[in-house]
Copies of this chain bind each other. A is one copy, B any other.
Amino acid sequence: MGDEMDTARGRARDAQRRAEQFRRVRDAHQTEVAEDYVELVADLIEETGEARVVDLSERLGVTKATVNNTIQRLQRDGLVTSQPYRSIFLTEKGRTLAETSRERHHTVRDFLLALGVDADTAEADSEGIEHHVSEPTLEAFRKFLRKSG
Contact = CB atoms under 8 A, between A and B. Distances in A.
A58 B117 contact: no
Count of identical protomers in the assembly: 2
A49 interface: no
Nearest to A111: B115
A16 B20 CA distance: 37
User: Size range of the interface on A?
Assistant: 35 or more
Nearest to A12: B58
A125 B140 CA distance: 13
A143 B116 contact: yes
A29 interface: yes
Interface in A1-39: 12, 15-25, 28-29, 36
5 contacts: A29-B29, A115-B144, A117-B136, A121-B134, A129-B132
Interface of A: 12, 15-25, 28-29, 36, 55, 58-62, 112, 115-118, 121-125, 127-129, 131-134, 136-137, 140-141, 143-144
